[in-house]
């Protein structure tokens, strides 16, 4: 496995959630940028569904995803067969490292020096850019938001709007510093400058890399949803196109896509539809004058097949990556995406990432929620996110063997003191004499009770013990 070792991504420590959250809460700029953006997105989403029977549509969305998952292995085989018939080469990767190596090998075979990339969350999962740079291949993001984030040497803070944490001033300064554009508040000017810079890159790139929103097994079609046209450029101009996707993105029929697309764009940005809905079913044919000569699809597992084993956790795989759950999350809205330190932030990140990185590393994620339920309410495919959060919370402190754990690192959040307290608690409840003695002692010495009880009293006052136990009071009443 020496090849795995060469891929050594620069990690943000997920465990540092709390200090980062504190810092974000005290940063007025971050809070302002997110508040403004998320308020706007919530309003737009709401009006985009006006006149729709939203509940029925969400049921359909959930059923389409469940049906696809129920037939997942067959669908993947059908997809592979159709794509191959269409002239698209299919590759399989058990994890991100293998997926990176597959991309590298395709690039090497073409002697490629430069890669231009459309937005793809799976490639963030794989840390593909970093890997390619290590291999001496330049990887440039072509989505404006991703481009800005890349200039800043950062990672995306939102799955739909990567640069949402920055305001125009910050972006203007960044572009000025890195690309020499004039300092300007004019978004048109900044956008036009980026267009110019990237046009050159599109023309000269050897390979284009994109994600996939839906992969249709029936016709062997890869669907991409975007507004800018960078996705079309990336998949059309370079002579070779490599699409990367998680194995869960397959759906049986084109018809399924019509419903999912309606849900996706409205939930994400409140648009009825995006500017471009791009359906790719093959490389350039001999008589065609443009389009890539070669098209590849890399199917990435990276932990998905283990999520697939569990009936409840499986729901996570329904996700169509619309980002609505983060837009509506009171925690995300205040601390922003970088605080999580994970590829997928917000509610979906809190239930997806523990699978990918383990509960030991991601143990703060399931607790970073008020359990208000907003995420579950807006999710277009009805993923019961709050239920899954509770389940993962339980697994993260579960020290007993009652619930066979499914997620790596279960019990990681269980502290020694807490474990002892609970053990004592359950022992006392099993011994009535000790229980009565214990509670009456607690009532008698209640003045000694500490005023601060760890995290509990951070935002609440400590509960006070009653002067008499319930048993004693009932006895007095002669019952």
Residue 321 binds: one of other proteins, ligand SF4, none (C-beta under 5 to 8 A by kind): ligand SF4
Range in contact with ligand SF4 (rule: CB under 6 A) among 109-117, 197-205, 322-330, 441-449: 322-330
- Is the Cβ of residue 138 or residue 310 nearer to other proteins in the bound state? 310
Residue 144 binds: one of ligand SF4, other proteins, none (C-beta under 5 to 8 A by kind): other proteins
Q: Does 317 bind ligand SF4 (CB under 6 A)?
A: no
Q: Where are the beta strands (DSSP E) in 264-305?
A: 276-280, 294-300
Can you tell me which of 102, 190, 217, 322 binds ligand SF4, judged by CB under 6 A?
Answer: 322
User: CB atoms < 10 A from the CB of 384, how many?
Assistant: 16
Residue 56 binds: one of ligand SF4, other proteins, none (C-beta under 5 to 8 A by kind): other proteins
What sign does the CA torsion over 197, 200, 205, 210 have? positive
Q: Does 356 bind ligand SF4 (CB under 6 A)?
A: no
- Is the Cβ of residue 137 or residue 262 nearer to other proteins in the bound state? 262
Nearest in space to 195 (alpha carbons), one of 146, 238, 143? 143
User: CB atoms < 10 A from the CB of 394, how many?
Assistant: 14
What minimum distance in Å lies between the beta carbon of 98 and ligand SF4? 25
Residue 126 binds: one of other proteins, ligand SF4, none (C-beta under 5 to 8 A by kind): none
Q: Does 379 bind ligand SF4 (CB under 6 A)?
A: yes
Residue 117 DSSP class: E
**Torsion angles phi and psi, residue 478, rounded to 5:** 70, 30
User: CB atoms < 10 A from the CB of 114, how many?
Assistant: 16
User: CB atoms < 10 A from the CB of 152, how many?
Assistant: 17
Residue 274 binds: one of other proteins, ligand SF4, none (C-beta under 5 to 8 A by kind): other proteins
User: CB atoms < 10 A from the CB of 284, how many?
Assistant: 17
Can you tell me which of 283, 303, 323, 345 binds ligand SF4, judged by CB under 6 A?
Answer: 323
Q: Does 325 bind ligand SF4 (CB under 6 A)?
A: yes
Distance of alpha carbon 168 from alpha carbon 209, whole angstroms: 28
What minimum distance in Å lies between the beta carbon of 198 and other proteins? 7
**Torsion angles phi and psi, residue 434, rounded to 5:** -65, -35
Tokens linked to 263: 């849900």
What minimum distance in Å lies between the beta carbon of 408 and other proteins? 15
Q: Does 321 bind ligand SF4 (CB under 6 A)?
A: yes
What minimum distance in Å lies between the beta carbon of 352 and ligand SF4? 8
What minimum distance in Å lies between the beta carbon of 309 and other proteins? 4
- Is the Cβ of residue 70 or residue 470 nearer to other proteins in the bound state? 70
Strand pairing class (276-280; 250-251): unpaired
Nearest in space to 232 (alpha carbons), one of 172, 197, 196, 279? 279
Give SS3 for 244: strand
* Percent of residues in the chain assigned helix, strand, coil, to nearest 5: 55, 10, 35
- Is the Cβ of residue 282 or residue 373 nearer to other proteins in the bound state? 282
Which residue, chain included where needed, has tokens 């999350």?
A: 329
- Is the Cβ of residue 276 or residue 422 nearer to other proteins in the bound state? 276
Q: Does 368 bind ligand SF4 (CB under 6 A)?
A: no
What sign does the CA torsion over 108, 114, 120, 126 have? positive
What minimum distance in Å lies between the beta carbon of 354 and ligand SF4? 14
Burial class (CB in 10 A: 0-12, 13-18, 19+), 246: buried
Can you tell me which of 383, 392, 397, 412 binds ligand SF4, judged by CB under 6 A?
Answer: 383
- Is the Cβ of residue 365 or residue 379 nearer to ligand SF4 in the bound state? 379
Q: Does 160 bind ligand SF4 (CB under 6 A)?
A: no
Residue 343 binds: one of other proteins, ligand SF4, none (C-beta under 5 to 8 A by kind): none
Residue 324 binds: one of other proteins, ligand SF4, none (C-beta under 5 to 8 A by kind): ligand SF4
Touching ligand SF4, residues 112-141 (CB under 6 A) = none
Q: What are the Cα distances from residue 245, in Å, to 215, 341, 468? A: 9, 22, 62
Residue 230 binds: one of ligand SF4, other proteins, none (C-beta under 5 to 8 A by kind): other proteins
- Which positions lie near ligand SF4, rule CB under 6 A? 267, 319-325, 347-348, 378-381, 383
């Amino acid at each position: 496995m020496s090849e795995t070792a060469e891929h050594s991504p620069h990690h943000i420590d997920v465990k540092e959630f709390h200090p980062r959250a504190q810092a974000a809460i005290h940063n007025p700029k971050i809070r302002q940028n997110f508040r403004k953006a998320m308020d706007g997105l919530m309003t737009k989403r709401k009006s985009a569904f006006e006149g729709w029977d939203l509940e029925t549509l969400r049921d359909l969305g959930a059923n389409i995803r469940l049906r696809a998952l129920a037939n997942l292995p067959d669908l993947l085989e059908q997809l592979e067969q159709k794509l191959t018939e269409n002239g698209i080469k299919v590759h399989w990767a058990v994890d991100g490292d293998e997926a990176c190596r597959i991309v590298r090998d395709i690039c090497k075979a073409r002697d490629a020096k430069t890669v231009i990339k459309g937005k793809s969350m799976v490639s963030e999962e794989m840390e593909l850019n970093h890997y390619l740079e290590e291999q001496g291949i330049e990887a440039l993001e072509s989505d404006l938001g991703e481009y800005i984030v890349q200039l800043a040497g950062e990672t995306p803070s939102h799955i739909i709007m990567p640069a949402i944490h920055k305001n125009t001033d910050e972006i203007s300064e960044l572009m000025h510093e890195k690309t020499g554009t004039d300092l300007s508040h004019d978004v048109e000017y900044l956008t036009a400058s980026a267009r110019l810079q990237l046009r050159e890159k599109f023309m000269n790139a050897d390979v284009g890399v994109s994600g996939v929103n839906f992969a249709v097994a029936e016709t062997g079609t890869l669907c991409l949803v975007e507004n800018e046209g960078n996705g079309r450029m990336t998949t059309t101009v370079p002579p070779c196109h490599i699409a990367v996707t998680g194995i869960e993105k397959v759906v049986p029929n084109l018809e399924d896509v019509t419903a999912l697309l309606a849900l996706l764009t409205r939930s994400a940005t409140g648009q009825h539809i995006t500017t471009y809905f791009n359906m790719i079913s093959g490389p350039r044919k001999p008589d065609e004058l443009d389009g890539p000569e070669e098209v590849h699809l890399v199917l990435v597992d990276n932990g998905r097949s283990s999520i697939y084993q569990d009936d409840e956790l499986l729901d996570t795989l329904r996700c169509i990556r619309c980002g609505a759950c983060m837009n509506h999350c009171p925690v995300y809205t205040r601390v922003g995406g970088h605080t999580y330190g994970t590829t997928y932030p917000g509610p979906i990140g809190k239930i997806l990432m523990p699978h990918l990185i383990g509960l030991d590393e991601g143990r703060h994620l399931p607790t970073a929620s008020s359990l208000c339920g907003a995420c579950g309410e807006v999710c277009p495919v009805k993923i019961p996110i709050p239920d899954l959060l509770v389940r993962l919370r339980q697994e993260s402190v579960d020290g007993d063997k009652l619930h066979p754990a499914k997620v790596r690192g279960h019990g990681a959040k269980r502290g020694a003191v807490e474990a002892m307290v609970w053990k004592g608690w359950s022992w006392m409840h099993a011994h009535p004499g000790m229980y009565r003695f214990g509670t009456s002692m607690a009532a008698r010495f209640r003045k000694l009770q500490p005023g601060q009880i760890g995290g509990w009293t951070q935002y609440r006052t400590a509960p006070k013990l009653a002067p008499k136990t319930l048993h004693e009071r009932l006895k007095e009443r002669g019952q």
